[in-house]
Structure 1
Amino acid sequence: MPGSILNSQIQQFVLNLCKYFERERAHGGPLLPFSSVQERVADALEISQKTVFNIKQRNKHKPITSFPEKSSHRIKKKTSDLPEGQKMEVRNTLYDMYKDSTCVFWWCNIMECGLLIYCPLQR
């Protein structure tokens, strides 16, 4: 597809294919018999024949798509294990602390660390 961005591994495969076809041209014909399809693919891409075989097998059962499938499962939130009364108590305490400006709140997405609360010493 024209205009698409190719990752470095795909770019390397393209270079390997070009090198293979140049070797065939210099050789004056195919380096391997046309009947040895998997062997030719493996040689051209500089990968193992087992890798070619495995990809073909996977493609028989589940065709390769250009976009990864979205996972439908969601991670269970930590608070879902608490009874509703305790959740409400924690929520109200946090709201009161925020309203009184006694603590500073951060939300940190790095490594999914969750809510961080900094409460300086009492004034």
Structure 2
Amino acid sequence: MKIMLPSLAAVALLALTACDNKTPEVVSSVSEDPQAAAIANRAPVELPPAIKAEKSMRCQPGNVLFFVTFFEGDKQARVRTEKGGTPVTVTAATAGEPLTGEGWTLTGTPTSAKITQPGKGDFTCKG
């Protein structure tokens, strides 16, 4: 019995050393994404611009008030005639050009701008 116990231990160790030569099998319950290739090859997404400034602008002639949201990149703004009113989005292809949309035109900065409202004319504004 004394001789048999060490020989059984040697056989068990020999069996365990044989396991070290194999790479472990990876088991996962998650299948591969069928759209992985399409997602990897799609065009990059451009985020909407961040808000640069929101201003209420007093404009002349007529002491008119406009509410303007300026966006980073200077290619987009939103103009409202009332604080809770529906905004009109004005855009430009490149920064520095006049922002236009739905008959509106806006040029300038959050501190000083010129706004053209359809049917009402040009207004010189200060923020």
Is the structural similarity TM-score above 0.5? no
Q: Which of structures 1 and 2 has the bigger CA Rg?
A: 2
The structure whose RCO (Cα within 8 Å, separation 6+) is larger is 2
- Which has a greater percent of strand? 2
- TM-score by length of structure 1 reads 0.23
- TM-score by length of structure 2 reads 0.22
